Structures are given as structure tokens and as C-alpha cells.
Amino acid sequence: MSNIVDIEYNRVNNTTSTDFPGHSSGEDFSWDIEKFKNNFEIKINSFNEREGNFDLINIDTSIANAFRRIMIAEVPSVAAETIYIFNNTSVIQDEVLSHRIGLIPLKVDPDVLTWVDPSLDEKDRHTDENTIVLSLDVTCTHNPNAPEGSTDPKELYRNAHIYAKDLKFEPQGRQIEIFKGRPVVAADPDILLAKLRPGQEIHLRAHCILGVGSDHAKFSPVSTASYRLMPVIDIKEPITGQEAKKFQKCFPSGVIGIKNDQAVVENPRKDTVSREVLRHPEFEGKVKLGRKRDHFIFNVESTGAMPPDEIFIKSIRVLKSKADQLRNSPISQ
């Protein structure tokens, strides 16, 4: 079976797989861990606090897609689950304000918390081991030092705009030691929660717990986690002169270069596989487009709750746990 998905003018070929992915007749595909170790590659292209880009090479689609789904829905993170509102005289309704607070990504290492046991009574369910408490106590007042003639509410009033950074961490019990030097804060401190005017106030407590994205999107540590197959551009015949310049313009910048007056492939990963080149009859038979079916380009964007490399490592841990659970189940015995 060809390892390339063929991209043609009006169709995509060689997309189907066998009952056993990656296998075809006439070849030996018996499992060999050493062979897998030698063939499998991870190439890290870029990583920062919010975004990571890396390649998984020589791995089956089912595994790559498992990582994607786990990062979105099964890597745990911390978010506000219950909001206790004592007073809210702003124009924002209680339920809307609670919803906005719940969606704020929090910088918390999920490994320091345990899961809440729903079988326990409400009074016994939350402890310093599984719950983080955030408080919001703000009152809007006139600013006696406001510049004369100003119309800016931020200058005229104090606490006119309430942001995520106004949520204060209240350590409970042993949390003073556990979170020493790393207080719980919002990943994006300038998320606007509410606007107040003199006399309006908000007093509440937020209880934050562990959760996963499959339960609610607020627990998903990624804003997006996606992959695409590595594009393949195979120039079958030399393309030179003015045709080379036209050929170059059929692709995004940086994909095709011109050397010695001849078109060459410089960086296929930048290609969006638009098939623009297949619209021109002069290039018919001179180029073949495709995608490598076992080369995945991952892009992971974090909400800020944790770095993308940590999210991916935790997804490996979750997948390993699933495999161990399946191996030890009665069905597999």
C-alpha cells in the first residue's frame, strides 16, 4: 500500500485502510517493539508558553488521533465549579457572572489536587486537597482625585472594571505550604468580568476543582489541538523559466524556490494543499501532490492553564493508563 494520499484535481485517492491500519498484503507487519523504536520519530519545531508545534512520524492515525482527542477532552485541569454569590448589585446577572468566572483558565498544576468524591455529602466533599477557593470582594466608588473634565470611567471611579486578576486566592489548610511561591492566578489576568458604577458591589467565593473537557469545555487545557498530514510535492519533470515563476506563485510563500532557473521544493510543510497548481494545463503531468499518511504535524494551543508540552506529556500518561486498564480487564484475559 502506498504511504501517500494522492491529491488530484477533483478527488483524493488512496484514503482507505485495511482491517489492520498500516498493513498490506505481501509484507511482514508483525509487531516488533525495537523496529517501532527505530522508526518512530518526534520532531519538535517550536514550543513556548502558549503554543507548541511538533511532528509525529511513522505512527498510525489511530494513535495520533487518540493524542488529539485526549488533549482536548481528557487531560485534567482546574476551573471554578461552584460560585457562592453573597451580594451582586451589578447589571450582570448572577448566572452570567458565574459562567464568566467558570471559563477563566487558571494557572494550577492539576497534579497537586485530588478528585472530588461525589458520593460524599456536600459538607464533607470539599477539602484542602481537592478544592481551591477564590474570592472577589469589590465595591465601586467615586475617585476624589479624578482629572477635571475626564469622561473615562476608569479615571472617574474606583473598581469601574472588574478583571480576572481581581479574583484572590484564599489558601485553605495545608495549601499555604502546597502553593507557597506559586499562588493561583488567572492565566489571562485582563479578562473583563463586569463593569460597575458607584454604589454597585460584588462579593462572592468560587470553589475550583479538577475536571476534564469531556465534562465541560471550561476544563479543557487547550483552545485548539489539531494535526495535519505532511504535504508531498513531487516534481516529475523540470519546470523552468517563466513557468517556474508561475509554478512558484501557485503555492504559499516559502514552499517553492527557484534555483538555476528551475523550480524546486523548499519547504513542503508550509503548503496548504490548495491544488491551485492543478488548475493550469501547462503543469499537467509535471507535478504530483499528496500527503504522507504517517507523518502528522501537530499544533497545540494552550489556554494558559499549563504549557503545551506538559499537556502532551499528560496525554501520553492518560493513553498509557487506558492501555493498562484494557490489558488488565477480564475481556483481555
For 183-210, what is the mean pLDDT? 96
Q: What is the CATH number of domain 77-219?
A: 2.170.120.12
The ranges assigned to domains in the chain are 4-74+223-237+285-299, 77-219
For the segment 214-241, what is each residue's pLDDT rounded down to a tens digit? 999 999 999 999 999 999 999 999 999 9
**Interval 106-110 mean pLDDT:** 93
pLDDT of residue 327: 87
User: Mean of the pLDDT values across residues 122-133?
Assistant: 90
Percent of the residues in the chain that have a pLDDT greater than 70, as a whole number: 95
Of the ranges 9-23, 109-123, 236-250, the best mean pLDDT one: 236-250
Q: What is the predicted pLDDT for the residue at 25?
A: 61
C-alpha grid cell, residue 330: 477480564
Q: What is the pLDDT of residues 251-266, one digit of tens each?
A: 999 999 999 999 999 9
Within 13 A of 284's CA, how many CA atoms are on the CB side?
5
> What is the per-residue pLDDT for 166?
97
Evaluate the CA torsion angle 155, 156, 161, 165 in order and state its sign: positive
pLDDT tens track for 15-45: 776 555 555 666 666 778 888 889 999 999 9
Of 10-14, 105-109, 167-171, 310-314, the poorest mean pLDDT is in 10-14
**Alpha carbons 93 and 217: distance in angstroms, whole number:** 21
pTM of the shown model: 0.87
Topology of 4-74+223-237+285-299 in CATH?
A: Gyrase A; domain 2 (3.30.1360)
Query: Cα–Cα distances in Å, from 199 out to 136, 161, 248?
Result: 16, 13, 64
